[in-house]
Chains A and B, each alone.
Chain A
Amino acid sequence: MDNLLRIETNNGINSLNFFGELTLYTITQYDKTLTTHSFEQENKKFVFDLNGLSFLDTAGALFLEEKITHYKSLGFMCTIDTDKEQFLQTLALVQKWSNREESFPKPVQPSFLERVGELFVSYYVGFMGFMSFFGQLVFTKMHYLKSLKNIRYKEIAFEINEGSIKALGIISLTSFLIGLVVAYQSAYQLKIYGANIFIVDMLGLSILRELAPLMTAIVIAGRSGSAFTAQIGAMKITQELDAMRTMGFDPYIFLVMPRIIALMLMMPILIFIADIMGLLGGMIIASIDLNITIDLFLDRFREVIAAKHFFIGLVKGPFFAFLIASIAIYRGLQVKDDTQSIGFNTTKSVVESIFAVIVCDAVFSIIFTNLGI
C-alpha cells in the first residue's frame, strides 16, 4: 500500500506523506504501512503531511491523534502539516472530545458467591411472586363468587372458543396417532404370546387414565398456554394493563379469571374427545394387525374397563387446566418492558406448565393407587 502512505527520511526528519482517503475503511492499510516501517532512533522528528489526502473522517482523525500520542510518548516530536481547514477542524474536534485518561467504566463483575446468592434470591422472589399471584387469584375468586353478575360470560365464551374449541383438531389428531402408535407397538409384543385380546385392557387403561389427559394437557400448554402468556405480555408492554387499571377494570377479573374458568370448564371435554380418538386409533390397529373386530373390541372393553378409569382421567382435567392457565398468565404478567422478555416468558410458561402437569399427574397417581382406585 505504498501509494497511500509514503515514508521518507531526510535531514533527521521522518515525513509521512498521506494520500487517498483516510477513513474507517482504509485505516488498517495505513496502519499496516506505518507499523511495518522501522524508524531509526536518531531521527527525532515526525511530520504528518496530509496535503496529499483528499478526505479525512473522524475515525481517521482519531487514528492520527492516537499515532501522534504514541510517538510523542516514545520521545519523538510530531507536527501536522496541512493547509486544509476542514482537516484541522476534524482534528480539533477529535482532540476536544477524546478523553484518554478515562475509559468506559467496566461494570463490576459479581463474585461467584454473589452470583449464587443472587440466583437463589431471584428464585425465592419468583416463588413469592407466584404465591402473591396465587393469593390475588383466590382473593379475586372470592370477590367474584359474591355475585354472579361479576362473571364475565362473554369473555369466558370467547376464551372457550379461542383456547379450547379451536384446539379440538390438533388434540384429536395427536391422540388418534398416540392410540395408533401404542397399539401398533404393543400388538407386536402381544402376538408373540398369543395374548391378542389383552390389547383392549392395555389401551383402555393407559389411554383413559394417563395418555389422553396428559396429551391434552401438553397440547393445550403448548398451544393455548403460550398464547395466554404472549397476549398478556404484549398487553403489558403496550400499557393496556395500566390503562385497564386506571379505568378501574381489574385485569384479574377481565383477563385472568375468564381464561382460567374457560380452560377448567373445557379441559374434561377435550380429554373426552382425546379418549375417543385415542381408542379409535387403537381399535383400527387391533382390527388390522390383531384381527380383533370392532365388535369384539367393544365387547371386551365393556367387560374389563370400569367406568372409574374414564372418570379418573376426566377429574384430572380441571386441575391440569388450572395449572396451565395460571402459570401461563402469571408468566404473562411477569413480562418486563422489553420484547425479549415476551419470548423468555413464553418459553418458561410452556416448560413450567408441562412440568407442573406431569408432577400433578404423578401426585394423582400416588393418591389413586393408595386409595385403591
Chain B
Amino acid sequence: MKKVIEVDEIRTVFGTKVVHDGVSLSISEGEIYGLLGPSGCGKTTLMREMVMLQEFQSGSIKVLGKKVNTISHAEAQKLRKEWGVLFQAGALFSSLSIYENIALPLIEYTDLSEKMIEEIVRFKIDLVGLKSSDAYLYPSQISGGMKKKAGLARALAMDPKLLFLDEPTSGLDPISAREFDKLILNLRSMLGLTIVMVSHDLQSIYDTLDKVAIIDNKKIAYEGTLAEVTSVKSEFIENFFGEEQV
C-alpha cells in the first residue's frame, strides 16, 4: 500500500538530552496509526517534526512524498493544506468564534462564496457532532470536549488526506472519549483519511488503532499491529499492555 509518511533514522537532541536516536517508521494510506510510549519519550516531538513545527538533527521525514527537512516554502505551504492537525487542547483561535475558526482556512485559501463556505462549515460542525447553535460561541465559552470537536472540525475544513491528532481523548470524560473514538473511526471510513495519533488512552488505543509504533528509550521498541505487541520485551509494553494478558 502507498506510504503516506516515512520516517527514516531520525535523531533529535534538546540541549544535552537525546530524545530520538535513530527512529524509523512508516505509515500507509488509510491506516489509523498510533504513536505510543512512556511520558517524555518524544511521541509529541516526533509528531511536531512531521508537521514541520520542530527541527531535528539528522535523518529524514517524508510526508505525502515530500521531504520536510529540505522542502521549499511553496511546497511546504501546499503540504500544509493537505493535512489537518488537532492539538491537545484544541488550539482554537481565541479571538474568533467556532464558525470563524472553521471558516478561516476556507476564506484564506479558496475563492468560495460566503454561502458555500457557510454550507461547508455547517456540514463540518454536524460531522463532528457539535450543535449548530454552538457555531457563534467563542472558544472561552465552550467545554474542553467541545473545543476538541471544534478543533477537529477546523482540521477537517480543507478535506485533508492526513490527520494528526495529539492525545485526542485526554481530558475527556469516558463517554465523550468513546464517542470521539467512534467519530474517528467513522471519519476514516467516510473520508478515507490516514490518521496519526499520539494517545495514552488504552481503551481508545484498542478501539481505534490499526498499527502502533512504540517509542521507548530513544528508539522504536515495536512497530506493527496491536495483536502482536506483547511479543516484544520492553518494560513499557509490559506495564502498559500487561494487564490485558492476565
* Residues of chain B contacted by A239 (CB below 8 angstroms): 87-89, 91
Contact status A243-B80, CB under 8 Å: no
Nearest chain A CB to B25 CB, angstrom units: 20
* Residues of chain B contacted by A234 (CB below 8 angstroms): 94
- The contact of A247 among B80, B88, B94, by CB within 8 Å, is B80
Contact status A249-B51, CB under 8 Å: no
Contact status B53-A238, CB under 8 Å: no
Contact status A243-B89, CB under 8 Å: no
* Residues of chain A contacted by B89 (CB below 8 angstroms): 238-239
Nearest chain A CB to B97 CB, angstrom units: 14
Contact status B94-A243, CB under 8 Å: no
CB contact under 8 A between A243 and B52, given known A248-B77, A248-B81, A249-B108? no
- The contact of A240 among B52, B88, B91, B108, by CB within 8 Å, is B91
Most chain B CB within 10 A, of A234, A235, A248, A249, is at A248
- The contact of B52 among A235, A244, A245, A249, by CB within 8 Å, is A245
* Residues of chain A contacted by B33 (CB below 8 angstroms): none
* Residues of chain A contacted by B240 (CB below 8 angstroms): none
Contact status A246-B51, CB under 8 Å: yes
Contact status B108-A246, CB under 8 Å: no
Any chain A CB within 8 A of the CB of B105?
A: yes
Alpha-carbon separation in the docked complex, A244 to B93 (Å): 9
CB contact under 8 A between A238 and B91, given known A245-B53, A247-B105, A249-B108? yes
Nearest chain B CB to A135 CB, angstrom units: 15
Any chain B CB within 8 A of the CB of A352?
A: no
**Closest Cβ neighbor of B87 among chain A residues:** A239
Contact status B53-A246, CB under 8 Å: yes
Bits for B40-81, please: 1 = Cβ < 8 Å to A, else 0: 000000001001110000000000000000000000110011
- The contact of A243 among B77, B87, B108, by CB within 8 Å, is B87
**Closest Cβ neighbor of A235 among chain B residues:** B94
Alpha-carbon separation in the docked complex, A55 to B80 (Å): 62
Any chain A CB within 8 A of the CB of B99?
A: no
**Closest Cβ neighbor of A249 among chain B residues:** B108
Bits for A242-270, please: 1 = Cβ < 8 Å to B, else 0: 11111111000000000000000000000
Contact status B94-A240, CB under 8 Å: yes
**Closest Cβ neighbor of A243 among chain B residues:** B91
Contact status B83-A243, CB under 8 Å: no
Contact status A243-B93, CB under 8 Å: yes
Alpha-carbon separation in the docked complex, A127 to B160 (Å): 39
Nearest chain B CB to A339 CB, angstrom units: 14
**Closest Cβ neighbor of B108 among chain A residues:** A249
* Residues of chain A contacted by B91 (CB below 8 angstroms): 238-240, 242-243
Alpha-carbon separation in the docked complex, A192 to B212 (Å): 89
Alpha-carbon separation in the docked complex, A244 to B94 (Å): 12
Any chain A CB within 8 A of the CB of B193?
A: no
Any chain A CB within 8 A of the CB of B85?
A: yes
Alpha-carbon separation in the docked complex, A249 to B76 (Å): 11
* Residues of chain A contacted by B80 (CB below 8 angstroms): 245-248
Nearest chain B CB to A290 CB, angstrom units: 51
* Residues of chain B contacted by A244 (CB below 8 angstroms): 93
Alpha-carbon separation in the docked complex, A243 to B51 (Å): 10
Contact status B93-A242, CB under 8 Å: no
Nearest chain B CB to A121 CB, angstrom units: 12
* Residues of chain A contacted by B109 (CB below 8 angstroms): 248
* Residues of chain A contacted by B92 (CB below 8 angstroms): 240, 243
Nearest chain A CB to B64 CB, angstrom units: 14
Alpha-carbon separation in the docked complex, A243 to B88 (Å): 11
Nearest chain B CB to A73 CB, angstrom units: 37
Q: Which of B12-38 contact A (CB under 8 A)?
A: none
* Residues of chain B contacted by A246 (CB below 8 angstroms): 51-53, 80, 83, 85, 164
**Closest Cβ neighbor of B157 among chain A residues:** A247
Bits for B95-111, please: 1 = Cβ < 8 Å to A, else 0: 00000000011001100
**Closest Cβ neighbor of A234 among chain B residues:** B94
Nearest chain B CB to A88 CB, angstrom units: 29
**Closest Cβ neighbor of A246 among chain B residues:** B85
The 8 closest A-B pairs by CB, nearest first: A248-B80, A239-B91, A243-B91, A246-B85, A239-B87, A246-B51, A248-B77, A240-B91
Ordered by A's residue number, 29 sampled pairs between the chains whose C-beta atoms are within 8 Å are: A234-B94, A235-B94, A238-B89, A238-B91, A238-B94, A239-B88, A239-B89, A240-B92, A240-B93, A242-B48, A242-B53, A242-B87, A242-B91, A243-B93, A244-B93, A245-B52, A245-B53, A245-B80, A246-B52, A246-B53, A246-B80, A246-B83, A246-B85, A247-B85, A247-B104, A247-B105, A248-B76, A248-B81, A248-B109
